[in-house]
Structure 1
Amino acid sequence: MPEAHTGTAARIADALRHGVTTMQIRPGEKLPPIRTLAERYGVSRNTVAKAIDRLRAEGVIITRYGSGIYARPLDNPTLEQAETPVEETFVAIGRRLDTIARDVADLKAGQAEILDLLARVVAHLEGSDPPPAGTVTS
């Protein structure tokens, strides 16, 4: 697996995520610059940038270009803050979709291939499974 999912970047993302979810890093609080985080963890800035990208995709942090990296504000719901089962379900679905988007990006598949796969998923969910890929139909 790529480092972004299992290596040092993932461990840094886990540590920062833990800080945000346990409120050690307060909502809206500015995180240290990437350079400072790289020094703190003894890694390259690129590794920290991968961790930051992952957290941004998950909605744990936000980036304000020219200003810095911030813990997400409270108006951005999370599973911990969801007030109803419906909100909790939608937040969970959003997180899963973020993971799927990262996985698809890692595939480096072409747009046509991705659209074909997506159409097959939709057809399956609607109960009208299309024939397997590569099957010739008349």
Structure 2
Amino acid sequence: MIATLEYARILDESEALGQMILRSEQASAYIEARRAMEEDQEAQMLIKAFNHIKMQYEDVQRFGRYHPDYNEIMRDVRKTKREMDMNSLVAAFKIEERKLQQLLDEVSIIIADSVSEQVIAPRGTSGGGCGCGSGGGCGCKVG
């Protein structure tokens, strides 16, 4: 019974932490940037164009350089991605997305480290590792 009550308390506190994150400046800025990007017709057109060329790219990848349209598709992918990334609303969204991810990474690290230094938390951009969670098994720098 005690373990069940403790588990319920941990879940309640986790929910409260999630709500605090949702009310944070980073989450608010992320939500606003996403909304602005989703409501902008030009940004949506660029995203749709990129997703379309990305599907073609994935098809070309099956054959690599031997695909007859390899060079053209590769050039189109780079051009389309650059156009999408240069859109001010897409760029602003990506910046806010990285900031929110950094906050989530930092919270994960704090929680993991509070349990034990041996607990592995994704270290993403804020911790220097790749964030794979394999404990360095992939060859990344842990911690």
TM-score (norm 2): 0.29
**Structure of greater Rg:** 2
TM-score (norm 1): 0.30
Higher relative helix content: 2
